[in-house]
Amino acid sequence: MSNANDIEIKRKKLLFRAQRRGFKEVDIIFGAFADANLARLDAGQLDWFEALLAVPDWQVYGWLMGEAPVPAQYDNDVFALLKDYRAPRGS
C-alpha cells in the first residue's frame, strides 16, 4: 500500500468481504470484528486479515471455536484479536 487512500480502499474492500463470506456465523464474527477494528489495523495487519478471509469458512470457524489448532501462518496478532473479539463477554 503506497498511501493512506490505498489503505482506506483496502479497508472498505475487506469490510465488504468480511460481511459476505457465506457462512452465517462467520459472517457475523468477521463482519462485526471488521466493522469495529479495521480502522485501527496497520497495512501488515490488514494483509493478515485478508489472508484469514481466504481461509474456507468451516476451517476458520473451527479455529475460532477451538475445535482445531490454528496453523502457524495464521496464528498472529490479528487472529488473536479476532478470537478475543469472538469470545463471549463476561466469561
Cα-based angle 18, 84, 67 (whole degrees, multiple of 5): 85
Q: From CA 45, how far away is CA 89, in angstroms rounded?
A: 24
Q: From CA 86, how far away is CA 32, in angstroms rounded?
A: 9
- Burial pattern 71-91, b for ≥16 Cβ within 10 A else e, equals eeebebebbebbbeebeeeee
**Would you state the pLDDT for residue 36?**
95
60: pLDDT strictly greater than 90: yes
* Architecture (CATH level 2) of domain 4-86: Orthogonal Bundle (1.10)
**Would you state the pLDDT for residue 16?**
92
Q: Where are the domains of the chain?
A: 4-86
**CA 8 to each of CA 5, 12, 29, 41, 69: distance values in angstroms, whole numbers, following the listed order:** 5, 6, 21, 11, 32
**pTM for this one?**
0.87
Percent of the chain, pLDDT > 70? 92
Tell me the pLDDT band of 2, cut-offs 50, 70 and 90.
Answer: low
11: pLDDT strictly greater than 50: yes
